[in-house]
Amino acid sequence: MTKSIVPAKLNESNDKLILLDQTLLPESEKYLELDTKEGVWEAIKRLSVRGAPAIGIAAAYGLYVCLNKVETDSVAELEKEMKEVSDYLATSRPTAVNLFWALKRMEKRFEQEKAEDKNVEAIKAALLEESDEILKEDQEMDIAIGEHALTLLEPGMGLLTHCNAGGLATSGYGTAEAPMYLGYDKGYDFKIYADETRPLLQGARITAFELYKAGLDVTVITDNMAAQVMKEGKIDAVLVGSDRIAANGDAANKIGTLGVAILAKEYGIPMYFLAPTSTIDLETPTGDDIEIELRDPEEIRNGFGRRTAPKEVKAYNPAFDVTPTKYITAIITEKGIVEAPFKENIEKLFKD
Which residues are annotated binding-site positions?
50-52, 93, 202, 253-254
Q: Name the DSSP letter for residue 292.
A: P
Active site (annotated) includes residue 243 = yes
Binding site per annotation, positions for substrate: 50-52, 93, 202, 253-254
The one catalytic residue among 138, 142, 223, 243: 243
Neighbours of 68 (CB within 10 A): 18
The answer to whether 327 touches 254, Cβ cutoff 8 Å, is no
Closest CA to 92 of 54, 125, 135: 54
**Backbone angles phi and psi of 265, in degrees to 5:** -60, -45
Closest CA to 277 of 333, 348, 328: 333
Strands (E), the chain: 8-10, 17-20, 31-34, 158-161, 191-195, 218-221, 237-240, 244-246, 251-254, 271-274, 280-281, 320-323, 330-333, 336-338
Closest CA to 80 of 38, 40, 110, 121: 110
| H or E segment and range at residue 330 | strand 330-333
Active-site residues, by number, are 243
